[in-house]
Amino acid sequence: MKNFRYQKASTVKEALAQLKAAGGAAKLMAGGTDLLGEMKDGIARPERVIHLRIPQLNHIQADSKGLRIGALTPLSQVAAHPQIKEGYTALAQAAEEMGSPQLRHIGTLGGNLCQRPRCWYYRGEFPCLKKGGESCYAVAGQNKYHAILGGGPCFMVHPSDTAPALIALGASVKIASPRGERVVPLEQFFISPRQDGSREHILQPDELLAEVQLPPPPEGSRSLYLKARERRCWDFALASVALVQTVKGGACQGARVVLGGVAPIPYRALKAEGVLKGKRIDEALATQAGQLAVFGARPLSQNSYKEELTRTLVRRAVLATT
Ligand SMILES: Cc1cc2nc3c(=O)[nH]c(=O)nc-3n(C[C@H](O)[C@H](O)[C@H](O)COP(=O)(O)OP(=O)(O)OC[C@H]3O[C@@H](n4cnc5c(N)ncnc54)[C@H](O)[C@@H]3O)c2cc1C
Ligand code: SF4
C-alpha cells in the first residue's frame, strides 16, 4: 500500500475544506470496507485519506415529507429500522442482503452507493479500460459475472444492493460541495461507461454525498428486493430486482422495476413496468414482465444464464407484491 496522509473530518465543512486543499489527490473514507481493499490492492493510491467521522451524517429521520437517511448511516441500522422495514421494505431487505453482519455494521449507505466496480480484471493487475487502458478484458475473457444489458465498452455490473431499491422507491441524493448543496434524483446519479468510463457517479472531486431522501411510499404500495447469488454467505448479486408495486382490486396501478447485477448502472426495466400498468396480475402477466425486463439483453460468452435468472426474479417479485 502506498503511504498516505490520514485526516479526520468531523463536520461537512471540514471535509469539504480538506477535499479542496487536497486538489483531487484525496479519497473520502466512510466505513472503509471498499476503499481499503482498493488501496491494499494498489488500485486506489490517494495522497490523503479523509475519514468522514461526521455525526450529522448518521441519522434516519421520518416525517410527512418522507424519510432522510444520512450518508454515514451504517447499513445494519437501515436494515433494522422499523419505519424502513414497514414503509420501504425493499430498502431494508437490500441493506440486509449486503455482505456480512460485520460489513453491515461498518459499511455505510453512502459508501454503498459510491463503491467501485467488483470486476475481477479491474480488481486485479489488468490495465483495462476503466484504469485508462485500451481494452476490456472481460469481452474475450472470463465474463460470467458481467453485464448482459447496457454494457460496452466496459461490461462491469453495478454492485450496490441498495441502489436498485432506492431508485425503485424514488430516492434522491443530497450532494454537498463548496458551492452549496444540490439534490439529484438517484436515477441520475450514476454514470454509464458510455458516458465516462473512468467513474461511476456524478460526484466531482470536491463533492461528497451527504444524504439520501425518500418520498412517502405510494399509498397502498408494496416493495420487495430479491437477490440471486452463488453463495449463502456474503456475495455480490448475480442478478437482483427491486420492485415497488401498487395493486388495487387485483390490478396493477403502477410499478417500478429496477435491476441490479446485470448492467453497469442500476437498470430501470421500463418495458416490464409498462406491461404491468393497468392489468390484472396473474402468473402469465408476471412471466411476461420477466421476459420484458431483459428485452434487448446481449449476453457475453459465459453469462446468458443471467437472462433466465432475471426473468425468474422479476416474475417472483411481481407475484409476491400482489
Ligand atoms: C467481503 C465484501 C463483501 C461485500 N458484499 C457486498 C454486497 O453483497 N453488496 C454490496 O452492495 N456491497 C458489498 N460490499 C461492498 C462494500 O462493503 C459496501 O458497499 C459498503 O456499503 C461500502 O460502504 P463503506 O462505508 O465501507 O464505503 P467506503 O469503503 O468507505 O467507501 C467506498 C467508496 O465510496 C466513497 N465514499 C464513501 N462515502 C462517501 C460519501 N459520503 N461521499 C462521497 N464518496 C463517498 C469512497 O471514497 C470510496 O470510493 C462488500 C465488500 C466486501 C469487502
Ligand atoms: S468490464 Fe470494465 S472494469 Fe472489467 S475489464 Fe472490462 S473495462 Fe475493466
Q: What CATH topology corresponds to 221-320?
A: Enolase-like; domain 1 (3.30.390)
* Pocket mutation for ligand 2, best pick of 38, 125, 136, 145 (most atoms within 8 Å of C-beta): 136
* Ligand 2 pocket, residues with Cβ under 6 angstroms: 117, 119, 121-122, 128-130, 136-138, 146, 154-156
**Architecture category of domain 58-115+161-214 in CATH:** 2-Layer Sandwich (3.30)
Least confident of 3-7, 108-112, 160-164, 231-235: 231-235
What is the per-residue pLDDT across 2-16, written as a single tens digit (0 to 9) for each?
999 999 999 999 999
Residue 244 confidence (pLDDT): 98
As a whole number of angstroms, the distance between CA 270 and CA 320 comes to 19
- Is 0.85 surpassed by the pTM of this model? yes
Atom number of ligand 2 nearest to Cα 117 = 3
Q: Residue 138 pLDDT more than 90?
A: yes
For the chain, what is the mean pLDDT? 97
Cell of 312: 425468474
Average pLDDT over residues 129-147: 97
Q: Residue 216 pLDDT more than 90?
A: yes
Atom number of ligand 1 nearest to Cα 72 = 41
As a whole number of angstroms, the distance between CA 186 and CA 48 comes to 28
Q: Residue 158 pLDDT more than 90?
A: yes
Cα angle for residues 264, 60, 101 (degrees, 5° grid): 65
193 CA → ligand 2 middle, Å: 10
Q: What CATH topology corresponds to 5-53?
A: 3.30.43
Residue 232 confidence (pLDDT): 84
Radius of gyration of the chain, Cα coordinates, nearest whole angstrom: 19
CB atoms inside a 10 Å sphere around CB 232: 6
110 CA → ligand 1 middle, Å: 8
Q: Percent of the chain having pLDDT more than 70? A: 100
Residue 18 confidence (pLDDT): 98
* Ligand 1 pocket, residues with Cβ under 6 angstroms: 27-35, 37, 52, 71, 75, 98-99, 103, 107-108, 110-112, 114-116, 159-161, 203, 208-209, 234, 236
Atom 36 of ligand 1: nearest residue by CA position: 111
Residue 233 confidence (pLDDT): 86
What is the per-residue pLDDT across 218-274, written as a single tens digit (0 to 9) for each?
999 999 999 999 998 899 999 999 999 999 999 999 999 999 999 999 999 999 999
Residue 146 confidence (pLDDT): 98
- Catalogue the E-assigned strands of 230-318: 239-248, 251-260, 267-268
Which ligand minimizes its atom distance to the CA of 76? 1
Cell of 206: 470536491
What is the per-residue pLDDT across 38-75, written as a single tens digit (0 to 9) for each?
999 999 999 999 999 999 999 999 999 999 999 999 99
Domain boundaries, the chain: 5-53, 58-115+161-214, 221-320
Q: Residue 136 pLDDT more than 90?
A: yes
Average pLDDT over residues 116-130: 97
What is the per-residue pLDDT across 260-318, written as a single tens digit (0 to 9) for each?
999 999 999 999 999 999 999 999 999 999 999 999 999 999 999 999 999 999 999 99
Average pLDDT over residues 135-159: 98
Burial of 184: CB neighbours in 10 Å, binned 0-12, 13-18, 19+: middle
Average pLDDT over residues 143-150: 98
